[in-house]
Structure 1
Amino acid sequence: MMSISKNFHAVVSFFLFITYSCSAAPITPPIPPVQESYSLGRVGNTDDIESETESGLVLMGGSTDVDAAMRWMIERSGGGDFVIIRVSGGAGYNDYLYGMGGLNSVETLRLNTAEASNNEKVFEILKNAEALFIAGGDQSQYLRLWEGTKVEEAIQYLIHEKQIPIGGTSAGCAIMGEFVYTGEKGSIISQEALQNPYDERLTVRRSSLINHPFLQNTITDQHFSQRNREGRLVGFLARLKSLSENLPLKAIAVDEKTAVAIDKDGQAKVFGQANAFYLVESNADQLPETLQIQTPLTWNLGQQALKYKTVNADQNPSLDLKTWGWEWDGFWFVEAGVLKNN
């Protein structure tokens, strides 16, 4: 009996020693190396190809994407590599675009840090693109994270040297022009912008990020009719007077489920279900009659402050954005914070 007791205690002591040793110094498995997270995936051919591209620009108004405008970009990509960039969200564009056919590959990059925006691999992927599309999201983040980085350098190369089609929807559309509404201090609605065009949320400025040659002295807007943004856009233009150097300020605004496609010759056509709007100053050398802090805007100029034209896919005249010299529908003007037209 004594021998059994000794053996039992020896076994218990051994297991207690092992348990204590493991608790005191746990063995951790090796941590796998962190993978670069800029790419959300690529579908199609893993090898890059070079194709013959044609420059172009797509301004999409948000909500459901416009298939016809996407096919327009694919055609001008020459069947090459289509890249989407965004700050948030997933890779839903990959299968959607690749499923349309005619592309070598589709890849989505999520560029949500300064490191990602200056990553050499990101720079290489962007420069190898034959079409580039900027997804919806928050334009203040796009401007904060991408301006002055390798992303901007790549975009400028794609526009001016490689000359590929570039597009954007919603926030991606909002950053296309020389002038942008940043949204960095929150959103503002039309009534607020017209009652106080110096509201701290009305943040408009010049941008270097895209600033496409066809959009010089131009600001873009989206979700336009659906969110009643007409007055807000006029407020943007009034505030931009100080930056325009007496050149006519212009605007292109696009409704949801609608896109404006601008070809290499500057000819603009509309795709989709609703309208696009074109605005230009009638008298670039004249200031609004009342443009002051905490004071309703008056921009009348004989009821001809801004010329406007509304276009949809059913009418679809080809408008020349090199001249903006077409027949206008009438004028927009503002009296004491109220937008009117004739």
Structure 2
Amino acid sequence: MKIKLLFFLFPIMTFSQGYTSYFTGNTTNISTNPQFGVCLMGGATEHDNAMAWLLQKANGGDVVVLRSTGSNGYNDYLYSQLGVTVNSVETLVITSVAGATNPYVLDKVANAEMIWFAGGDQYNYISYFKDNALENLINNHVTVKHAPIGGTSAGMAILGGRYFSAQNGTVTSAQAMANPYANNVTLGGYSGTTLPMTDFLNVPFLENVITDTHYDNPDRKGRHATFIGRYRADYGTTVNGIACNEYVAICIGTDGIAHVYGDYPNYQEFAYFIQPNCNWTNGNPYCVANQPFSWNFNDGALKVYKIPGTMNGTNTFDLNNWQFPNGVGGSWENWSITNGVFSSVAGNAPDCILNNSDFENNKISLYPNPVKNILNIDNLIVGSCIIYNTQGKIVKEINKLSNQIDVSNLSSGIYLIKITSDEKIITRKIIKE
């Protein structure tokens, strides 16, 4: 009887400190060598194959589930039902900033080989985890420790570098498109007149992405497109989108290839990879407070790759190459919004380089390509250049460009170089050896 009483009191005592712990497995912490991976789930039942894929990245270590409501529903599932051996699974139900920054919680997260965010209300996660020691540990988990992380529903919503915070509650597509500045259209990452790279979580391949979930129930395409348009209108920047239907999962490894899991064709289960049309240059979308939102470019303001999820994640999208999209197993759609009404039609892949008239007409040439150290430029009168990596970050900027660019300090990989010359902009892909 005493043992039962002590077990009953334990969650009450921890709850008074802002968290409750539910533990399954070996109480002795071990350290393994985890591998990086991200799993995004659409918000209904977890896809077992996708979750097993992520769990294997923990390499037998300790798993921490973070949530703000609920209890221990993940413990047995992750510990013993997927056929992947781990040392322990601990669910931490955090209900305040005090709980998030409790030394016990921080120690458990610091020693985790995998972190999983449950569903719920994403504003709880943002309110409790943002701008404190727990946020720092979560970012350290993926950027320094290179360990796996994932989430479903609200847990997926917070993993993008841009995010819908739900500070004033949820918003429907109809509400967002009717007034893109409505009180409940609350977007994260805003900071004065500039847009920081991220202001919460910093997950590789998702830095400039806003995610959305439950995409088919209810339909959230219109609100997601409005979110992307708001960033464009307010900051003049390109933000991409990733979304899942409810029973769909997206798994991303170190190679940046997103594998889509689902049960198609038995069910209509899709993931969506959304980007503003790179050939749309007519200023910002029509985005005015208390006015219907409009963003239409020949019915294709947004280019979307729609991928059916399969049991083994065979269909893919390459997140390294938004500007040079490479997908397998999906189809392209064009999305637009006109006077607050969303439309979707069959489309084709964006052609961000070859459709640029300046590229066709200007005689500037760059060589060698691939390049090891020095990139030569012919027929340049005067100009400047910016070089971006595949995640959209500026890695080199030259205001007064000569006929040579030293790229010896860049890591091997694919880059986008944008040259401004004689009031023309020429964009090229270069490969650094």
Same fold judged by TM-score > 0.5? yes
1:305 alignment partner in structure 2? 301
8 Å Cα contact 2:167/2:186 also seen in 1? yes
8 Å Cα contact 1:39/1:107 also seen in 2? no
8 Å Cα contact 2:233/2:285 also seen in 1? no
TM-score of the superposed pair, with normalisation by structure 2: 0.68
Report deviation, 1:244. 4.8
In the alignment, structure 1 residue 76 sits paired with structure 2 residue 57: yes
Higher helix share: 1
One-letter amino acid of the structure 1 residue matched with residue 220 of structure 2: R
In the alignment, structure 1 residue 258 sits paired with structure 2 residue 253: no
2: distance between equivalents of 1:35 and 1:86? 18
Higher strand share: 2
Report deviation, 1:341. 2.2
8 Å Cα contact 2:229/2:285 also seen in 1? no
In the alignment, structure 1 residue 318 sits paired with structure 2 residue 291: no
Report deviation, 1:326. 2.2
Report deviation, 1:161. 0.9
8 Å Cα contact 2:97/2:127 also seen in 1? no
In the alignment, structure 1 residue 275 sits paired with structure 2 residue 278: no
Report deviation, 1:211. 2.8
1: distance between equivalents of 2:167 and 2:116? 22
3-state secondary structure, aligned to 2:205: helix
Aligned residues: 310
> Matches of residues 36-55 of structure 1 in structure 2 within 5 Å?
36-37=14-15, 38-55=19-36
2: distance between equivalents of 1:88 and 1:107? 14
1: distance between equivalents of 2:164 and 2:285? 23
One-letter amino acid of the structure 2 residue matched with residue 226 of structure 1: N
> Matches of residues 241-252 of structure 1 in structure 2 within 5 Å?
241-242=232-233, 244-246=235-237, 248-252=238-242
8 Å Cα contact 1:288/1:301 also seen in 2? no
> Matches of residues 113-124 of structure 1 in structure 2 within 5 Å?
113-124=96-107
Report deviation, 1:306. 0.6
> Matches of residues 177-196 of structure 1 in structure 2 within 5 Å?
177-196=160-179
2:203 alignment partner in structure 1? 212
2:289 corresponds, among 293, 296, 300, to 293
2:127 corresponds, among 114, 130, 144, to 144
> Matches of residues 85-164 of structure 1 in structure 2 within 5 Å?
85-99=66-80, 100=82, 101-164=84-147
3-state secondary structure, aligned to 2:218: coil
One-letter amino acid of the structure 2 residue matched with residue 35 of structure 1: M
One-letter amino acid of the structure 2 residue matched with residue 334 of structure 1: I
1: distance between equivalents of 2:199 and 2:27? 32
**Do the aligned partners of residues 289 and 45 (structure 1) sit closer, same or farther apart at CA in structure 2, a change above 3 Å counting?**
closer
8 Å Cα contact 2:22/2:71 also seen in 1? no
Report deviation, 1:275. 0.9
8 Å Cα contact 1:288/1:298 also seen in 2? no
In the alignment, structure 1 residue 338 sits paired with structure 2 residue 341: yes
2: distance between equivalents of 1:117 and 1:263? 28
**Do the aligned partners of residues 35 and 192 (structure 1) sit closer, same or farther apart at CA in structure 2, a change above 3 Å counting?**
closer
2: distance between equivalents of 1:285 and 1:183? 31
2:425 alignment partner in structure 1? none
2:45 corresponds, among 64, 74, 81, to 64
Report deviation, 1:111. 1.4
Deviation sequence 1:56-105 (CA, Å, 0-9, x none): 11110011111111101111110110110011110111111111241111
1:35 alignment partner in structure 2? 13
> Please, which moves more after superposition, 169-178 or 40-49?
40-49
RCO higher in structure (CA 8 A, sep ≥6): 1
2: distance between equivalents of 1:318 and 1:259? 12
Higher-Rg structure is 1
Q: % of aligned pairs identical?
A: 33
1: distance between equivalents of 2:281 and 2:206? 20
Report deviation, 1:146. 0.8
Deviation sequence 1:276-308 (CA, Å, 0-9, x none): 111001137554442111211110123221100
8 Å Cα contact 1:85/1:135 also seen in 2? yes
Report deviation, 1:40. 2.3
